[in-house]
């Protein structure tokens, strides 16, 4: 029997190791054993058994004195296994050859062990590894392109896609070769194993884009152009491809700044209603709200549908001079439409005017200047009374008798004194000057900023109480650090009060806005909230609507006081 101490075992195993045992890929060699070779014997699997060492042409066992998992790990790894599960003592796997046990010299064969103390091991197998080790191989990247080539090749087709216009006689306009398996992935097409035909019904104007749509079903990729957007969107709606529907809806917003007549906006709103595309509807309504004043002056205003107008009147993000200008626009439109608009619709629209937000001087003039006052006198009297009460009563008294809702909240009013404009392109006179003052050893700084003053609130009882504001555009990180904070992104807009508002802090809050528009055309393409007096100026990738004037911004800072 071969006797080992731990150090001797490690020395032995540094010799040539026999591959007679099992390796990771379950391959055995037929070579003759060599000096220092190892094997496992007597186990029920190739990965466990009694440890035997080949020395001087003979196999001998290992004594289990000091035999533990450390030695077992060495044996298992030398045999090509991942590692050891356990070290076995006490001759569990039977007795080994006695040929070396009679050795009389100290070293090899020096032992006080019997074969009942033969050492064994249980090694990890590939099966054991599978339980805890997984290696993911992902070769799906090229699958989309390969499926695209399959569609383009028309090879091995087993489905005929027939395209027709539902408004015409049932004649097939086009037939496209496809593969049934692809359509199994889309249950909405109702393709069965016996199906060999599929009919797509859509307007003839969309027929040139059918092939792109079908190819998308294979690849999940499609190039969308301005000319194909509506057809692909309509097909996505018909066949319930929600992800494609929403993504194309975003592309529609690129059309909005391009049409100064606003006919496209009205058309897209109606289309959004038809397809129940909530995202498209919101994008259109938001754009119309931000550019409400331009919409009022456009050719589309005179034919605007009542349901679209009602949706706009509900919104608080209308960018307008003041609430009185909204009332004037609605009154003039209703007067022009005359009897074409029912009395119910007229009252419904006028009810969305926020009379409490109209200054008292203009409220008073309504009864004399409004052409609709006499025909709707009861409504106007009630609305004007509520407006006067809101403007003249302390808010704590007013809210005892009125439910505080949107009627008492301002929209985005840009008339003086509630807003101030800062251009994005600055001349040298308005830029920040960083001239070093030698006498006092500091940089004198004049930020690109403007100051202005507003009343504390638009209510008449606060007209004599004013607040001073500072509006800034910070374009460099050092401008931020000089004011005691770090800018996460640049440029950054800042709008802050230049003295404490403690007197009114328990009653009045400010929901201030930053309006981004084009310097020359005044198209509003984004409205940003101020948080902690700061507004991050968005980039092309952070807003849905592409910037129509990426380098010529016009910043409008708007102060919006609210009771709370």
Q: How far is CA 89 from the centre of its chain?
A: 60
Q: Which of 318, 234, 233, 301 shows the shortest CA–CA distance to 265?
A: 301
Q: Of 130, 153, 183, which one is at a domain's C-terminal end?
A: 130
Q: Which of 338, 342, 274 shows the shortest CA–CA distance to 310?
A: 342
Q: Of 113, 130, 147, which one is at a domain's C-terminal end?
A: 130
User: What does the pLDDT read at residue 183?
Assistant: 96
Domain extent at residue 539: 416-563
User: What does the pLDDT read at residue 207?
Assistant: 94
User: What does the pLDDT read at residue 438?
Assistant: 33
Contact, 152 vs 83, CB < 8 A? no
User: What does the pLDDT read at residue 256?
Assistant: 87
* 200/271 Cα distance (integer angstroms): 20
Task: With respect to residue 405, please indicate whether it lies within any of the assigned structural domains.
Answer: no
Q: Of 130, 154, 176, which one is at a domain's C-terminal end?
A: 130
Task: With respect to residue 547, please indicate whether it lies within any of the assigned structural domains.
Answer: yes
The CB density around residue 409, as the number of other CB atoms within 10 Å, is: 16
Per-residue pLDDT of the chain (564 residues; tens, 9 = 90+): 444 443 444 444 444 343 444 444 444 555 788 888 999 999 999 999 999 999 888 999 988 888 899 999 999 999 989 899 999 987 778 766 544 333 333 455 555 577 778 899 999 887 766 666 677 888 988 999 999 999 999 999 999 999 999 887 677 778 999 999 999 999 999 999 888 999 999 999 999 999 999 999 999 999 998 789 989 999 999 999 999 998 998 888 878 888 899 998 999 999 999 888 898 999 999 999 999 999 999 999 999 999 999 999 999 999 999 999 999 999 999 999 999 999 999 999 999 999 999 999 999 999 999 999 999 999 999 999 999 999 998 888 877 777 778 889 999 999 999 999 997 554 433 334 343 333 333 333 445 889 999 999 999 999 889 999 999 999 999 999 999 999 988 899 999 999 766 788 888 999 999 999 987 778 899 999 999 999 998 865 555 455 567 667 889 999 999 998
Task: With respect to residue 39, please indicate whether it lies within any of the assigned structural domains.
Answer: yes
Contact, 521 vs 387, CB < 8 A? no
Contact, 187 vs 226, CB < 8 A? no
SS3 469: strand
User: What does the pLDDT read at residue 336?
Assistant: 94
The total number of structural domains in the chain stands at 2
What DSSP string describes 125-140?
-HHHHHTT-------G
Task: With respect to residue 101, please indicate whether it lies within any of the assigned structural domains.
Answer: yes
- Residue 90 belongs to domain with CATH number: 3.10.250.10
Task: Specify the residue for token string 């203009």.
Answer: 362
Q: What is the pTM of this model?
A: 0.68
């Amino acid at each position: 029997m071969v006797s080992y101490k731990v150090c001797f075992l490690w020395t032995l195993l540094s010799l040539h190791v026999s591959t007679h045992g099992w390796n990771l890929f379950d391959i055995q060699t037929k070579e003759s054993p060599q000096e220092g070779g190892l094997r496992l014997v007597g186990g029920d699997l190739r990965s466990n058994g009694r440890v035997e060492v080949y020395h001087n042409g003979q196999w001998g066992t290992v004594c289990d004195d000091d035999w533990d998992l450390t030695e077992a790990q060495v044996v298992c790894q030398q045999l090509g296994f991942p590692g050891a599960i356990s070290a076995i003592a006490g001759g569990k796997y039977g007795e080994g050859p006695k040929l070396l046990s009679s050795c009389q010299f100290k070293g090899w064969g020096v032992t006080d062990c019997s074969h009942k103390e033969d050492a064994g091991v249980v090694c990890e197998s590939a099966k054991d590894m599978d339980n805890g080790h997984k290696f993911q191989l992902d070769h799906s990247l090229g699958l989309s392109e390969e499926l695209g080539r399959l569609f383009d090749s028309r090879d091995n087709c087993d489905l005929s896609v027939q395209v027709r216009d539902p408004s015409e006689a049932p004649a097939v306009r086009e037939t496209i070769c496809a593969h049934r398996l692809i359509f199994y992935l889309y249950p909405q097409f109702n393709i069965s194993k016996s199906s060999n035909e599929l009919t797509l019904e859509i307007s003839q104007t969309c027929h040139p884009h059918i092939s792109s749509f079908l190819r998308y079903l294979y690849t999940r990729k499609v190039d969308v152009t301005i000319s194909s957007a509506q057809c692909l969107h309509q097909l996505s709606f018909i066949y319930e491809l929600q992800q494609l529907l929403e993504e194309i809806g975003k592309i529609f917003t690129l059309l909005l700044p391009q049409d100064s007549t606003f006919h496209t906006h009205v058309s897209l709103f109606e289309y959004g209603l038809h397809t129940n595309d909530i995202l498209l509807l919101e994008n259109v309504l938001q754009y119309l709200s931000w550019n409400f004043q331009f919409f009022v002056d456009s050719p589309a205003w005179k034919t605007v549908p009542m349901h679209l107008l009602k949706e706009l009147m509900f919104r608080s993000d209308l960018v307008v001079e003041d609430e009185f200008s909204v009332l004037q626009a609605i009154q003039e439109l209703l007067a022009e439409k005359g009897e074409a608009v029912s009395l119910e619709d007229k009252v419904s629209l006028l009810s969305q005017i926020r009379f409490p937000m109209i200054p008292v001087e203009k409220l008073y003039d309504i009864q004399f200047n409004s052409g609709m006052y006499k025909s709707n006198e009861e409504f106007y009297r009630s609305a004007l009374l509520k407006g006067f009460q809101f403007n003249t009563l302390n808010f704590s008294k007013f809210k005892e008798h009125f439910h505080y809702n949107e009627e008492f909240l301002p929209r985005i009013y840009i008339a003086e004194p509630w807003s101030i404009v800062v251009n994005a392109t600055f001349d040298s006179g308005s830029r920040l000057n960083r001239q070093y003052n030698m006498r006092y050893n500091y940089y004198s700084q004049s930020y690109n900023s403007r100051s202005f003053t507003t009343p504390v609130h638009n209510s008449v009882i606060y007209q004599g109480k004013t607040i001073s504001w500072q509006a800034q555009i910070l374009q460099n990180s050092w401008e931020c650090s000089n004011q005691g904070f770090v800018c996460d992104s640049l440029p950054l807009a800042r709008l802050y009060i230049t003295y404490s508002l403690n007197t009114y802090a328990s009653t009045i809050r400010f929901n201030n806005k930053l309006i981004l528009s084009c310097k020359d055309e005044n198209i509003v393409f984004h409205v940003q909230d101020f948080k902690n007096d700061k507004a991050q100026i968005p980039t092309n990738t952070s807003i849905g609507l592409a910037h129509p004037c990426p380098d010529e911004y016009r910043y409008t800072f708007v102060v919006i006081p609210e009771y709370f």
